[in-house]
Amino acid sequence: MGAVLHVRQRALEDGPGPSTERLEGGKSVMAWDSAAMLVLAGVAAGLAGSVAGLASLFSYPALLAVGLPPVAANVTNTVALFSNTVGTAAGSRAELRGQGERLLRLGVIAALGGAVGAALLLGTPSAAFEAVVPWLIALGSVLILVRDPLRRMVASRAPEPGSARPTFPLTCAVLLVGLYGGYFGAAAGVLMLAVLSLSAAEPLAVTNAVKNIATGAANLTAAVAYAVVAPVDWIAAVVLGLGALLGSWAGPMVVRRLPETPLRIAIALAGLGLAVTLWYRAQA
C-alpha cells in the first residue's frame, strides 16, 4: 500500500505532461506533433525490437521528449510496448507450433520476475530511477555490439540435440531477466535470447520466437500493475502502442531486406549516445 501511495503522490506532483492539452469539459487531446513523434517512435521501436530486442531505445526517449517525467515515461512505455509482443507473435506462428508447454512454463516464471521488477520500480524513489536508467541503456547497447561473440560463445556451449541443461539455473536466469524486464526492460530480449540459447539446441528463429513470448509475459505483468497504480499516460500509451504494433509486424519483412550488421551497430551507438545524454541530465 505504501508503494501505491508513493507512486500516486508522484503522479500528482508531476501533473499532466505537455503531450496532452486540456479541452473544455476536462477532456484531453494530444498535440498532433507529439502524436506523430510517438507513432514514428513506436514504428522504430517495433523495428528495433525485431532486430535486436531493444525497442525501448526509441520509445522511452520519445516519451521523455513529449514531456513525460522519467517514471511516468517508463510505465507508459511498458504498457505501450506490450503491442510489440502481439506483433512479433503474429509473425512467428510457424516457429511457435508445438511449444505450448514450454511457453507456459517460461511465461509463468518470467511473469513472476516482471511482477517483482514492477514492485521495485513502484517503490523506488524517482531520483534513484533517473540515476540507474543510463547504465541500463548502456548495458543494453553494449550487449548489442557484442551480440555476435556472445552468440558464438553460446553456440560452443549449447547442449547436444536431445539433451537439456539443469532446469534450476534456467529458472533463476529467466526469473532475473523477467525482473529486469519489469523494472525497465531495455535489452531484456537480448538477455533472454542468450539464456534460452544456452538451454536448448534448436534453430535461432525458434529460440527468438520463444524469447518474445517470455519477455512479453514479464512485460504484461508489469503493465497490469502499472495500469492500476502508476501514472500511465493512456493517450501516449495508445498512440505509441499503435506505432509499435505496426513496426513489430513489419519488422521481419524489413529486416530481411536490410544489411543487419550496420543497422545493429547504428542502434547500439544511438543507445550509447542516449545513455550519455541521460547520465549528464541526471547529474544536472
Largest CA distance in the chain: 66
Record the cell numbers describing residue 183, joined without a space: 523494472
Is residue 176 within 8 A of residue 113, CB to CB? The reply is: yes
pLDDT band of 256, cuts 50, 70, 90? low
Higher pLDDT, 160 or 213: 213
- pLDDT of residue 259 exceeding 80, the answer is no
Report, in this order, helix, strand and coil percent for the chain, each rounded to 5: 80, 0, 20
Q: Where are the alpha helices (DSSP H) in 91-187?
A: 93-96, 100-122, 126-145, 147-157, 167-183
Q: What gap in Å lies between CA 59 and CA 73, rounded to an integer?
A: 9
Q: What is the mean pLDDT of residues 240-266?
A: 80
Q: Which amino acid is at 29?
A: V
- pLDDT of residue 243 exceeding 50, the answer is yes
What are φ and ψ of residue 277, in 5° steps? -60, -45
- pLDDT of residue 193 exceeding 90, the answer is no
Interval 126-148: pLDDT, tens: 677 778 878 887 887 887 788 77
Q: Which amino acid is at 249?
A: W
- pLDDT of residue 85 exceeding 60, the answer is yes
Higher pLDDT, 90 or 166: 90
Is residue 244 within 8 A of residue 84, CB to CB? The reply is: yes
End-to-end Cα spacing for the chain? 32
Q: What gap in Å lies between CA 221 and CA 85, rounded to an integer?
A: 13
Non-local (6+) Cβ contacts of 275 within 8 A are 134, 135, 137, 138, 141
Q: What is the mean pLDDT of residues 148-154?
A: 71
Non-local (6+) Cβ contacts of 48 within 8 A are 54, 55, 57, 58, 247, 267
Q: Which pTM does this prediction carry?
A: 0.77
Q: What is the mean pLDDT of residues 6-20?
A: 48
pLDDT band of 161, cuts 50, 70, 90? very low
Three-state SS at 160: coil
Q: What gap in Å lies between CA 110 and CA 171, rounded to an integer?
A: 9
pLDDT band of 24, cuts 50, 70, 90? very low
Higher pLDDT, 35 or 130: 35
Of 173, 185, 84, which is closest to residue 133 (Cα–Cα)?
Answer: 185
Is residue 217 within 8 A of residue 110, CB to CB? The reply is: yes
pLDDT at 162: 43
Q: Among 7-16, 71-80, 196-205, where is mean pLDDT lowest? A: 7-16
Mean pLDDT (the chain) is 80
- pLDDT of residue 187 exceeding 90, the answer is no
Residue 158 carries which DSSP code?
P
